[in-house]
Amino acid sequence: MSRNLNILQAISEAMDQKMEQDGRVVLLGEDIGTNGGVFRATDGLLEKFGEDRVFDTPLAESGIVGSAIGLALGGMIPVAEIQFLAFMYPALEQVLSHAARMRFRTRGEYSLPMVIRTPYGAGIRGPELHGESVEAFFVHTPGLKVVVPSTPYDAKGLLVSAIEDPDPVIFLEPTRTYRAFREEVPEALYRVPIGKAKVVQEGRDVSIFAWGSMLQLAISTARQLQVERGYSCEIVDLRSLAPLDRDTIVASVQKTGRALIVQEAHKTAGMASELISLLNDEALVYLKAPIKRVSGFDVPVPFFSVEDDFMPTQARVKQGIVDTMLF
């Protein structure tokens, strides 16, 4: 049996079902209990599971992550919520110096099963530090896994896999598409494997790589160009940024010979740069045109009045595909 859920509902259901299944799963974060979280992802879970498993914390992100590390070392499986990705900055010392290094530091004696959930990305007209897309910080850090669901189905399945993973997982939730659309989501518990990309649409002419809220932009642009110019675009949703599904990425470009990467993040040293490097290493002789990227700009995410000027648009993605095809 399945239901028509949005991404936020799918995330909530994943936590609910894992808490029912495994008594070690606990939730902590700012306003996640009584208020149900800033976006209501944990709404109703305090009433269902009680205050011993759903903790409201002080406004102290370093304390939230530090407490999660201690809980994980003590045998629990904490799922910490950071209200917005940029709020993670005060906790980076805990994330990078301790969570990511525990398995290495203890020579494999201790793993750290914990999840840090956080909304990320712009497009919601938020104030400063509410629209960051700095996933590369975490992808760059050995010892962390980083996943980004783009659909309700993947949101539930990836979060279940993240909670069951023996190592720390950064679970990035695209804020812009939390409630943007719905799809059928199985009621039963299921898993989407970490480290596996998904070919959303088969194509012949150009491969488009996207993740998070950029996936819907890639899909809509590809459909428009199919009608206008007859381009056959293959769309790949990365889903997992660390580990990266190198085989699926390379195989797609070996088939199409062209690649465009759409990322919301700043242009310099982002995931797009890493993908270009990967494809130059492993698919260079298949390329018919230089690899293009469409991204945010190398400036702080601006205030809401000019937010749209910062983010990739359909016009920019469309131009990138056309440039690649006409090279």
Q: Which position has the token pair 């799963």?
A: 25
Instruction: List the beta bridge partners of residue 72.
Output: none
Q: CA Rg, the chain, in Å?
A: 20
Q: Distance of CA 217 to CAs 42, 111, 212, 305, Å?
A: 28, 37, 10, 20
What are the CB-based long-range contacts (under 8 Å, 24+) for 130-134? Answer: 130/84, 130/86, 131/86, 131/175, 131/301, 131/307, 132/84, 132/85, 132/86, 132/301, 133/85, 133/212, 133/263, 133/264, 133/265, 133/266, 133/296, 133/301, 134/85, 134/86, 134/265, 134/266
d(C-alpha 22, C-alpha 53), whole Å: 11
155, 237 contact by CB (below 8 A): no
Catalytic residue, candidates 98, 130, 140, 266: 130
d(C-alpha 317, C-alpha 264), whole Å: 12
Task: Tell me, yes or no, if 130 is annotated catalytic.
Answer: yes
Name the residue type at position 9: Q
Using alpha carbons, select from 38, 49, 171, 48 the residue that is nearest to residue 114: 171
Q: How many CB atoms lie within 10 A of CB 182?
A: 15
The residues carrying an active-site annotation are 130
